[in-house]
Structure 1
């Protein structure tokens, strides 16, 4: 009786094993039947602004139904192209991640069309303790003396002059994948030409500070700035309005009705007659 049970268990085990083998064979055959295309991927991590060569790339089989738009199948088509974003190992190279054909490598390939790159000097405090990293956005604040009129004291003011400015690089590093804070002495910002002029004037008249902001926050806030008097709650000085004494107006005497002048008469004697003429 025991032998019959053992034989039955062995038979069931063989049956289940055979079924599993058949299923695995069918699954493998189905997988091998899926159409695929060659797609160029990064063989190593590629930093933004780098010029691509064949040693950085490789090809893999990619299911035809999910090939990324703008991808490449030939490594030669990517020779000497420049990436404008960081590309991780195994990530597909796509046209949207590349600078236009003929672009030279370096930071200039990363600057958006119509923008400029400008570097400002910072320290551990001005640079937000090193947390202003490439790819982050900052506001630029200036603390300066506002000119007043003659005989009046200069007014110290802090004012936000630029908002949502992209950090392109810190020192000589532009890698946006690094999240470790770095205390550096210079930060490169991406600005429009008009904002570049504002920043150049701001750093010449006062002290700059970078204010780190949320990357998803696109709200702009217009402020009037704050003065030292407003910071400490002092009342704004009211300049008295000088009133000059009005010039005395001469008294004008109104002329009364004119007194009629006495008439003058002349008596004219002619021949035997007389006449009186008055005027």
Structure 2
């Protein structure tokens, strides 16, 4: 009996302890709910995230994913036109063009950005004094479709002059434009919508562009149009890092590359002297003819007649009245005295 009473007492103690723990746990939950709903959390709710520049961005720059990010600021730090988290998505401004300079950490303003789907985007992309020129390209000319908006390219012209000139000078290649910016591929002005991954997913043929729009000065645009008529041009992609502006006056330093400069065989062939013309050996002089006998009998050797092929024709002298004499009327030949 004593053991049973002891068990009952211990069970009652455990029950009371369990009830106490439950009450304490419920109290802690109520305290947490009160803390969340308390006015002390009001300052955190007043902070907002704005879309800002992660680096210094000059005017006319195409925004990439690593150029912009969210920045938490107080209510006083939000300016009119700032892009707030929850109202816009960060991806909406990938490929947008800046209309003014932005400092690192500065909040972006919607009115200072032009999205790729805006009709003013092409005019906003162009730098002052530049022109936009679209040219038709194939797979080789567009670097197999890997040229994207925002890339910088060189334009290389290749000409074939045919058989009219020396074989070592029939083909020539030269760079006619340097450091030209690509602002559109086909009708896409957004580099993010023209990524290599999307092109690969679309298939091998569908991502090859048909036109490329380049930004250049007016004189450069004229050069490209003439180059397209002279021969075939290709776009050579330049690196994104270190592709500084190339002065127009420095572009004349590059020399054209001829076929003989590439092929040593053509160079040796062009330098070889021409073959000598075949000449006939000199013919021996004709043998002298034997002397003719005169009517008197002895040999007449004072005059030797030339070969018949070298004899000249002497027409008969004209008689009085303009009628030429016949051979029978010619005066008789005087005989030499013996």
TM bin (shorter chain): 0.5 to 0.7
TM-score by length of 1: 0.56
Pair 68,211 (structure 1): closer, same or farther in 2 beyond 3 Å: farther
Give the one of 4, 21, 29 matched to 2:33. Answer: 21
Instruction: Say if 2:139 is the partner of 1:127.
Output: no
Partner of 2:43: 30
- Report the structure, 1 or 2, having the larger strand content: 1
Contact 1:86–1:175 (Cα < 8 Å) also in 2: no
Pair 86,109 (structure 1): closer, same or farther in 2 beyond 3 Å: closer
Contact 2:156–2:235 (Cα < 8 Å) also in 1: yes
Q: 5+ unaligned residues in a row in structure 1: which ranges?
A: 40-61, 74-83, 241-279
Q: Hey, which bits of structure 1, 4+ residues long, moved more than 6 A? A: 35-39
Give the one of 78, 96, 105 matched to 2:112. Answer: 96
Partner of 1:191: 216
Distance across 2 between alignment mates of 1:239 and 1:67: 79
Map 1:1-279 onto structure 2 (within 5 A): 1-26=13-38, 27-32=40-45, 34=46, 63-67=74-78, 71=82, 85=96, 93-98=109-114, 105=120, 107-145=122-160, 152=166, 154-178=169-193, 179=195, 180-181=198-199, 182-218=207-243, 223-234=254-265, 235=267
Distance across 1 between alignment mates of 2:243 and 2:141: 22
Contact 1:133–1:169 (Cα < 8 Å) also in 2: yes
Partner of 2:294: none
Distance across 2 between alignment mates of 1:126 and 1:29: 60
Contact 2:154–2:180 (Cα < 8 Å) also in 1: yes
- Deviations for 1:53-109, whole angstroms, at most 9, x for unmatched residues? xxxxxxxxx843443686489xxxxxxxxxx9269xxx965343149xxx9736334
Aligned residues: 199
Tell me how far 1:199 sits from its aligned partner: 1.3
Tell me how far 1:212 sits from its aligned partner: 2.3
Contact 1:37–1:64 (Cα < 8 Å) also in 2: no
**Structure of higher CA gyration radius:** 2
Distance across 1 between alignment mates of 2:263 and 2:50: 68
Tell me how far 1:119 sits from its aligned partner: 1.5
Contact 2:97–2:114 (Cα < 8 Å) also in 1: no
Tell me how far 1:129 sits from its aligned partner: 1.7
Distance across 2 between alignment mates of 1:3 and 1:96: 69
Paired residue secondary structure (1:128): coil
CA RMSD of aligned residues (A): 4.1
Tell me how far 1:223 sits from its aligned partner: 4.2
